[in-house]
Amino acid sequence: MTDNVGPGSDGRPPNRMIAWSLLRAAGSSAVLVAIYYLLPLDHSSLWFAVTTLVIGLVALIALIAFQVRSIVRSPFPGLRAVEALGTSVPLFLLLFASTYVVMATLSASSFGGHLTHTDGLYFTVTVFATVGFGDITAKTEGARLVVTGQMIIDLIIIGIGARVIFGAVTRGRQRRPEDTSPAQSSE
């Protein structure tokens, strides 16, 4: 078996391309998490948190629109979708985690105490996964509104977002010319 850059006789991407796609997805996630931990969120204002969240969500929508186009045009749309999700989902989660850390810093009563970067990320992921252990809870109206907003957007991402991504993969696969390699015509 060789690792070339074109599709194999079965139309699948070569192993080398799969590995690079997975590494890029993991690398994107790791870079986003590193940036999140490096941000001085405990010295931010509410204005900064709200502005960052709104601009971040608009940027996320633009990123997803760009990624959908890339998925449709890709010779391997499934791989491109994995890379897109490796950037989009962590960015979404980290935007809310940042907002929660800033809110808890500005008002300790928002979440029942100070949240570290790890606490903010943990809380965001438990909300996203709809687990809700109850160890960290939104205590104030403002915090509850932001968490409610995240829950609504979570449902949109899980429902509509997944459908859009999978639809782009399907369209991308349909755009590919039919493979007329000798291996398929030997029957």
CB-based contact 68:168 (threshold 8 Å):
yes
CB-based contact 88:62 (threshold 8 Å):
no
For the residues 15-40, what does the mean pLDDT come to?
94
Integer CA distances (angstroms), 45 to 99, 103, 118, in order: 10, 8, 19
CA dist., res. 50 & res. 44, Å (int):
11
Each residue's pLDDT tens digit, 72-129: 898 988 888 889 989 999 999 999 999 999 999 988 899 988 899 999 999 999 999 9
Tokens of residue 179, six digits: 């493979």
Amino acid at 46: L
CA dist., res. 19 & res. 34, Å (int):
22
At 1 the pLDDT is 41
Percentage above 90 pLDDT, the chain: 50
In the predicted structure, residue 182 carries a pLDDT above the cut 70 = no
For the residues 19-29, what does the mean pLDDT come to?
93
- Residue recorded with tokens 């997803």: 64
- Enumerate the domain spans of the chain: 15-175
Q: Label each residue of 76-103 as H, E or C.
A: CHHHHHHHHHHHHHHHHHHHHHHHHHHH
